[in-house]
Amino acid sequence: MQPEPARRCCAVILTSCVLSLTACASNPQMPPADLPALPPPPSLSTPLPSTPYMTTAAQRMGTWQQRLQATQLMSKPSGQHGP
C-alpha cells in the first residue's frame, strides 16, 4: 500500500487532469452570424489582362531592384565587411 501523502498527491493530480479534460471538452463558440459574404466569382466574359501576370511581376521586381541598388547604401561598397 502507498503512504497517505503519496495517495493524496495522486488524487490531486488525477482530479486536476479530469478537470482540465472536461474544460477542453466544452462546446466551441459559434462564429457570429453577421460575417461578410464571399464576393461572386468573376464573370466568364471578364477580359484577361493584356500582359501575363509573370511578365508584369518580373518588370516590377526589376524596377524595384534598380531603385534599391540606386540608393546610397547599396551603390557604395562599405569599408567594413562583417561584424
**Looking at per-residue confidence, does 7 or 58 come out higher?**
58
pLDDT at 61: 97
Instruction: State whether residue 21 is helix, strand or coil.
Output: helix
**Looking at per-residue confidence, does 32 or 71 come out higher?**
71
Spatial contact of 74 and 68, defined as CB atoms under 8 Å apart: yes
pLDDT at 37: 85
* pTM confidence score: 0.35
Report pLDDT digits (tens) over 9-65. Answer: 888 888 887 777 666 666 666 666 777 888 888 788 888 888 899 999 999 999 999
**Looking at per-residue confidence, does 58 or 72 come out higher?**
58
